[in-house]
Amino acid sequence: MSYSALASRYDTMKYNRCGRSGLRLPAISLGLWHNFGGIDAYENGRMMLRRAFDLGITHFDLANNYGPPPGSAEETFGRILKSDFGPYRDEMIISTKAGYYMWPGPYGEWGSKKNLVSSLDQSLKRMGLEYVDIFYHHRPDPDTPLEETMAALDLIVRQGKALYVGISNYKPEETKKAAAILRELGTPCLIHQPNYSMMSRWIEDGLLDALDEEGIGSIVFSPLQKGLLTDRYLNGIAPDSRAAGPSVFLRKEEITEERISMIRKLNDLAAARGQKLSQMALAWVLRGGRVTSALIGASKVSQIEDAVGALNHLEFTEQELSSIDDIILNR
């Protein structure tokens, strides 16, 4: 079945400037961490990617180890890119990462030049690409000099294998040091990818200020707090929910009565705003313009449609923000 993108795909999506760069990213980006691996239904992933692009989502976020099995999400994306998105490659921002465990031996993870260059070469082959738009170092490496890791990112840009580079999971001081090294090398740090949600606010303690000072954009993952900030857990653990299965990302013991009560209160507040809880959670991380893009995961098309719908109501009153803080902080 051939695919032609909707002519209206750019009519309603909001695009934000990424730091001080010339690049704009969609306010909602789609991550392929789950549900696009070799164990997942290919046609479902294909439908989600098509619908996302039709809704103006131009940024697709991957990593070398996404699957399962590791590498298979990039292979799936490469197949769909070839079958459906070939004519639209220049309309897309495709990103990948390296730093977590990928292959055995001393070069299969962390932040050495050997690991980063080798990993990206493998990723490009899996996706059938000559370059990615953004390449990230996925996590800080305590044993490799930061200068080596940043020099590898600079080399990758100069080799033409990535247009921009970024970092993920770096703390504020690490971010400043990395940005300074890259700036001296002549390859600015474009973007930082940390986790951030109403329930996990650590980036407000210095990281957002550091990104503003350095002119670095941000794309936040887990804005729905592993799915807790949705209507999936209003009545406890649903049989088909992530927490009901063997997931290591959301465990049953995380779904406490206290949290269920909190989620219900937040859901009531979202309903009063005319939104689903998931939409309010996305609007909350995007409030004020300090976050460039919210990175979502999805298992079905309707979840992507709901996420984009959050952009219809991004404003909060001071009373709403105070009420959210009261609920989250149990004040």
**What percent of the chain is modeled with pLDDT above 90?**
89
In the prediction, which pLDDT does 45 show? 98
In the prediction, which pLDDT does 153 show? 99
pLDDT over 90 at 303, yes or no? yes
Length of the chain: 331
> Hey, CA dihedral for 119, 193, 213, 311, is it positive or negative?
positive
pLDDT over 90 at 247, yes or no? no
In the prediction, which pLDDT does 258 show? 87
pLDDT over 60 at 245, yes or no? no
Query: What is the overall mean pLDDT for the chain?
Result: 95
Q: What number is the average pLDDT over the span 37-51?
A: 98
pLDDT over 90 at 86, yes or no? yes
- Phi-psi sector, 80: left (phi>0), alpha (psi -120 to 50), beta: alpha
**Contact between 282 and 294 (Cβ < 8 Å):** yes
Q: What number is the average pLDDT over the span 278-286?
A: 98
* pLDDT greater at residue 119 or residue 244: 119
Band (233; pLDDT cuts 50, 70, 90): confident
Q: Among 149, 207, 202, 152, which Cα is nearest to 175's?
A: 207
pLDDT over 80 at 241, yes or no? no
Q: CA-to-CA distance for 124 and 331, rounded, in angstroms?
A: 49
What class does CATH assign to 15-227+282-313? alpha beta
Torsion on CA atoms 276, 278, 282, 288, rounded to nearest 10: 50
Alpha helix stretches (DSSP H) within 55-145: 72-80, 113-127
The token duo for 304 is: 């992507």
In the prediction, which pLDDT does 252 show? 66
pLDDT over 90 at 246, yes or no? no
In the prediction, which pLDDT does 255 show? 77
Domain boundaries of the chain, sorted by first residue: 15-227+282-313
Band (243; pLDDT cuts 50, 70, 90): low
pLDDT over 70 at 324, yes or no? yes
The token duo for 246 is: 């063997």
Alpha helix stretches (DSSP H) within the chain: 42-54, 72-80, 113-127, 146-158, 172-185, 207-214, 257-272, 277-286, 301-309, 318-329
**Contact between 285 and 223 (Cβ < 8 Å):** yes
Establish whether the linkage from the previous residue to 239 is cis, with ω within 30° of 0. no
Amino acid in position 310:
A
Q: What number is the average pLDDT over the span 227-235?
A: 89
**Contact between 44 and 35 (Cβ < 8 Å):** yes
Q: What number is the average pLDDT over the span 70-83?
A: 98
Q: CA-to-CA distance for 117 and 125, rounded, in angstroms?
A: 13
- Give pLDDT tens digits for 127-139: 999 999 999 999 9
Q: What number is the average pLDDT over the span 236-252?
A: 58
pLDDT over 80 at 273, yes or no? yes
Band (330; pLDDT cuts 50, 70, 90): confident
- Give pLDDT tens digits for 164-219: 999 999 999 999 999 999 999 999 999 999 999 999 999 999 999 999 999 999 99
Side-chain half-sphere of 266: how many Cα atoms within 13 Å? 32
**Contact between 152 and 183 (Cβ < 8 Å):** no
**Could you tell me the pTM of the whole model?**
0.94
In the prediction, which pLDDT does 256 show? 82
Quick one: three-class SS letters along 212-270? HHHCCEEEEECCCHHHCCCHHHCCCCCCCCHHHCCCCCCCHHHCCHHHHHHHHHHHHHH
Side-chain half-sphere of 318: how many Cα atoms within 13 Å? 0
In the prediction, which pLDDT does 191 show? 98
pLDDT over 80 at 239, yes or no? no
In the prediction, which pLDDT does 181 show? 98
